Structure 1
């Protein structure tokens, strides 16, 4: 948003230089994106009045004007603009003037007609970027007066306002912030006239049929309006921040919005039928907006309506049918509080952003709603000769101020890292408009002003203290000081290792939204949001399966033959919404990115997924389970804790994705794995050679490797160093062993750390293990 430094200076004492002001705001968290000098500070540019205008004899798009510049002699000017009429007062650049872009004005001959200067647009004078026509001045401007006296030099700040600071979207709001930051007196809200308890129903009946979307609505009748040009001081203020002057009525509502942050709308009261009803739109209801476009509304859109039709999209834009025109005599002035989520939803759905919706989306100050109506009525009386009604018709109730927030002074100093006196902390908070409700030497409770809804916790108050004290004033700590590794550091390092290992296995990392559709939420029993942006982002995901399937579908649609992806992020476990960090892995398609002439490209299978899991968690093991959504489902365990699951997804969705390759999916709880540690065991490098002996056996088809391994290891032989399954023989060859039988062969490695083993020692130990297998499992040993 653009701010005029001159305008800010009307409300508060500012730092001496613009650069100082920009640095102050930037360090306090309000970034200055650009600084621009404005103002018509040009020699030989004066106010002139157009006395006559005729078509150029040799050019269809040019006119020949006779103007009075106060010199006593009429001047002939060739002009290409079309937005003026005879009698208008406009800026005239005389020969010798130098305008924006180093444009030098001199007498010239344009298509055979002499021109003794140039009539100027706002952009040519550096007042705004508007170059569509001449700058039409106020009728009160004196002919021959230098333009610089009407448009004094100004500096425009382009400020990035964060979404939680809607209170800064006005000159008064930003000036109030500056005053608090420099410790100056809080700016006087002189534009806020005393507001008595408004009489209800005096200025016309109001009904709010949608109180959740519109808690409060007010309307004020203003009669005897004289629509015309705005005075130069209003035009100068608006155009300095990029708004084009329309007429005095529209300009006043825009002026008040820029001044104190409350959007307003003026209806032509004579075009309204009956009472005002703030309601939800009907399905398919048509609305012709001020931008000249017709919009189809839905039941989720809030509208302002009379007895006949919708006359405004609440908080977004008014209607063309009830807009102010040159013939308007009576206004109905709207000032309301609309729910931010409702305004945001409608503005996004209709693709209809506006200055009003920008502010309502970020929440306006309830304390300024009626004050803005009074300020507007005051300006309309002063500028447009209007007669505002003393009463304001209202309906509903303004939202209450935010709840009190408690602050412990010790916590404040711990977070900041320095010790500030209690008095200093309190003075800073009071500068931001907070009132101390109660307290003692250790803590205090603070009343939050209506415009600071972002202050909800003690850390928010601490942030305000830091912004005033200056984060640059907090002493740095000695780099050599030892800092113990935190749990957050360990988690971050573990995730970095996960990413590196998975990338090394040829998987690509993806990032998907934490929000899922309402339809998916019902399927997954996920936690739904109270105020979702739209139906596609209505709940919090509880797993990565749907998100990664969406990525798979898009890649297959794009022609991918292989998809190997992973994501590390947060999921939300119902019913309480517990947050967990998970790792999701999805494999589909060819095992290699491209075919190779030397070998056929096989399809990724379950064992590829198992290998990926074991590459990142070598100590993981698997237990078969039954899951309705997975084939070959297993639980993934490490030590005595379940850390995830894996399998092949089989659903209606996977059948529509593309070629019928298996969709392999695994999900692991990263938090649990990180807490278990790396699982790495460091040993001394072995000095003595190992001896390996094999055991081959015929076993029942249903006897698992896990059972055999636990039997071998369970012998607790100290010389046994490792066991490895190296051969499984069965299936079609089962006739060699008998029905339901298979052959399994293991390599057993023996080693001692202190000496070289003898064959006799190994033979004794090996025989014990063979006997144990025969005794406990009934296997048939092969020689």
Structure 2
């Protein structure tokens, strides 16, 4: 929000300079983002009166002007501006003056005629971009007066960066209230005296939606002069507040909005057919707005209509059909209270914003509607003339302002400062907050313009702001330095991140809301949880998998010539689950587990001379996952299965103790091709809850006996899996005490005889055997291997390979 300091000081004028006032506002929560001068630095520019204008003898486009600068003698100045005319007052840069940019004015001869100075345009003075002619000043401007003084160009422009809850400060009056409360300076309120009613004309207005409009007021004004000039003081204030002057009717409406925070709308009365109705829109209705945009309306958007014709978007922007023009003579002035919930997000839906919607969706004072319309009527009649009709005011339903309690002891505890009760009373009084106090508890009734006071902490914040943060002692918090024990079996998120980083993965943090196509293509989720108000159209649903985000990270890096990417993310996903109920950290119907997902693309290791370049594959990532799991890796099973994001023949379902906990595999060739990736990334995704608790290490005495290694090769059916054979061997060992000497089993060779038509393959196992008390003899070893072979024969029909 931008405004000139002089406008603020017209309401409240504390004994503070500009810097001190800026600091005071910032410390009170109204951050002054920037202060700039209303005009760039220049000197030697005065108000001058053109006494006579004559043609230049040697140039058709130049004129010779005789100018009175208040010094007593006329100056001769050559000027090429098309609007140089006798009788007007304009800025004059005297000889020796300095213009913005450092240019110094001197005496010059132009086509043989001497010129002692320069008449200036607004652009040459840095006041605007208008350079069509000289800057014409008011007729009553004193000749010879410094232009900076005449136009108050030493004024300072404040730019406030307001938080969304402080809607009451989106006006000069609102900021002035704050300054008055902070400094104790007297607040001067504008006059709201009613305008004399000389007409009996009324416009019928029906409010059909009390949940849209809580109060509606308006009046008819006839005989206005829409071509009247906006007063220079109003035009200057508007321009310094960032508003472009349009016409007197529009300027007055904008002025009241900026000064009082009251958005209003002016209808051309002759263009309204019948009365007005305030209602929710209907599907299929359209409206051409004042900005030229045509929008489609539905049942969630409030409108003002005349019969079946939509006239404006309620609380957002008026329509072109009833907009005032320079030929308008009769108007209907409207002011209303629109419920913030009925305005929120509607303008953004149509991809624009307006000053009115910005205020209404945050909350506008609902008690001062008629007072503000009386002030606006006075401005309209004084500037544009006309006669006013009676002010109609319909109160449908207004917000109930529930009292808010604040315990003084609670305030002391939160602030850490024992603010006296008397001082708290003074603070609330200066803020204009009506209160009662009983036994150390303040009961405050929020004013109609404060939509940010609901709970005890809101009042404590008000005390802190006015009391002053700088008055609070800078005392560091005191906390006992206790070393907390870390459960050895717990593998928390920080540990998982650390281990992934050790495995050469880099962490990424992606949006929790993703593209609808990602959920459909990568997760097979055709009914994702949709956002009601997405920040972007392509981020419309909540993710149920982290894989899509990691794939996008790889594509982003690949497009920027990176040839090796290894990334991981630890974050929540969102799944529909009717069994979930509302709780402190849960939402009914939505399960929010935490997943850990990793992706690798490119060479296994960085290119080097010592190793050949090889692209990462399924087993590289499987090894990384086993390293991450530690002792849990022995219980991990990769069961062949299909997943929408993964290659059908190179993917597996991850299982721990028979429970599915995630997926692993190559990205499906279709999605790799769609992403223009030459090689398919390999990814995994696992439920964090399943791997967060690790088994405690079980210490055991180490055997000092030598290890015996034996190999066993068998023929098995071609469709037999290693996991099935391994399960048979481990179950046999667990059920037979004599086989406890088998310490480990590995598959080290798989071979197929291409010339044979038996449909078999050879699998070679290596066994490590070790006794506990004595060295193993050959007979004991052979008995063990024979027992294991018999188990494979009986369960899987294998036969020994010679």
If the TM-score is normalised by the length of the shorter chain, which range does it land in? 0.7 to 0.9
Contact 1:41/1:152, CA 8 A, preserved across alignment:
no
The DSSP-based 3-state class of the residue aligned with 2:293 is strand
Q: Is the 8 Å Cα contact of residues 2 and 241 (structure 1) preserved in structure 2?
A: yes
Pairwise CA distance, 1:400: 1.6
TM-superposition CA deviations, 1:167-219 (whole Å, max 9, x none): 32222222333444x363784644566899x9xx9732345678777666544
In the superposition, the TM-score normalised over structure 2's length comes to: 0.74
Structure 1 residue 264: Cα displacement: 3.0
- Contact 2:222/2:387 (<8 A) preserved: yes
Equivalent in the alignment of 2:176: 175
The match for 2:33 is 33
Residues 31 and 612 (structure 1 numbering): CA distance in 2 closer, same or farther, change over 3 Å?
Answer: farther
Give the direction of change, closer, same or farther, for the CA distance of 1:553–1:388 in structure 2 (3 Å limit): farther
Q: Is the 8 A contact 1:215 1:339 kept in 2?
A: yes
Name the CA distance, whole Å, in 2 between partners of 1:762 and 1:62. Answer: 121
The answer to whether the aligner puts 1:269 opposite 2:289 as a matched pair is: no
Q: Give the 3-state SS of the residue equivalent to 1:760 in structure 2.
A: coil
Over 3 Å counting, the alpha-carbon distance change for 1:159 and 1:111 in structure 2 is: farther
Report whether the alignment pairs 1:224 with 2:258: no
Structure-2 separation of matches of 1:153 and 1:122: 16
Contact 1:169–1:261, Cα closer than 8 Å, also in 2? yes
> Deviation per CA, 1:75-97, whole angstroms, max 9, x where unpaired?
55555656788765443444444
Aligned match of 1:754: none
The answer to whether the 8 A contact 2:78-2:114 is kept is yes
Q: Determine whether 1:760 maps to 2:758.
A: no
RMSD (CA atoms): 5.6
Aligned to 2:569: 567
Deviation at 1:239, TM superposition (A): 3.4
Cα distance 1:610–1:132, how it changes in 2: closer, same or farther (>3 A)? farther
- 1:16 and 1:280 map into 2 onto residues whose CA distance is 50
Alignment of 1:729 onto 2:749: yes
Q: 1:436, 1:746 → 2: CA distance?
A: 86
Task: State the 1:160 CA deviation.
Answer: 1.8
Deviation at 1:50, TM superposition (A): 5.5
Change in 2 beyond 3 A, CA 1:158/1:595: same
Structure 1 partner of 2:389: 389
Q: By how many angstroms is 1:138 displaced?
A: 3.9
For 1:623 and 1:486, how far apart are their aligned partners in 2?
A: 35
In structure 2, the residue matched to 1:607 is 619
Give deviations 1:406-457, integer Å, cap 9, x for gaps: 656666555545565677667656655555589765x666544444434455
From 541, 544, 549, the equivalent of 2:543 is 541
Report Cα offsets for 1:217-251 as digits up to 9, x if no partner. 54433333344333343233233334344444333
Distance in 2 between residues matched to 1:729 and 1:99, nearest whole Å: 89
Indicate how the Cα distance of structure 1 residues 462 and 71 shifts in structure 2: closer, same or farther if over 3 A, else same: same
Deviations 1:511-557 (A, max 9, x none): 43333467878955444444445654444434334444555666777
Shift of 1:378: 2.5
Aligned partners of 1:721 and 1:26: how far apart in 2?
Answer: 77
Which residue in the other structure is 2:152 paired with?
A: 151
Change (3 A) 1:114 1:581: farther
What residue is the counterpart of 2:162 in the other structure?
161
Greater shift, 535-544 or 631-640, is seen at 631-640
Most deviating of 258-267 and 697-706: 697-706
Note if contact 1:295-1:350 (Cα within 8 Å) is conserved in structure 2: no
Q: CA deviation at 1:622?
A: 4.3
* Alpha-carbon distance between aligned partners in 2 of 1:52 and 1:721, rounded to the nearest angstrom: 120
- Mapped to 1, the partners of 2:174 and 2:87 lie a distance apart of 39
- 1:631-661, CA deviations, whole angstroms, 9 ceiling, x for partnerless residues? 5776657799976554566698677445696
Distance 1:669 1:407 in 2: 45
Show the 5 A alignment for 1:441-452.
446-452=444-450
Count of residues in correspondence between the two structures: 763
1:667 matched to 2:685: yes
Aligned counterparts of 2:492 and 2:85: Cα–Cα separation in 1: 73
* 1:124 CA displacement: 5.5
Deviation (angstroms), 1:256:
1.8
Contact 1:587 1:604 (8 Å CA) reproduced: no
1:513 paired to 2:511: yes
Secondary structure at the aligned position of 1:32 is classed as strand
* 2:255 pairs with 1:235: no
Which 5+ residue runs of structure 2 have no aligned equivalent? 578-586
Superposition deviation, residue 365 in structure 1: 4.2
Which position in structure 1 is the counterpart of 2:379?
A: 379
Local SS of the residue matching 1:233: helix
Aligned match of 1:745: 765
Give the SS at the match of 2:685.
strand
The question of whether the paired residues in 1 share the 8 Å contact of 2:715 and 2:801 is answered with: no
The TM-score with structure 1 as length reference comes to 0.75
Once residues 32 and 236 of structure 2 are traced to their aligned partners in structure 1, the CA distance between those partners, rounded to angstroms, is 22
Per the TM alignment, residue 615 of structure 1 is displaced from its structure 2 partner at its CA by: 4.4
Give the Cα–Cα distance (whole angstroms) in 1 for the partners of residues 250 and 57 of structure 2: 38
User: 297, 300, 317: which is aligned to 1:299?
Assistant: 297
* Ranges in structure 1 where 5+ consecutive residues have no aligned partner: 752-756
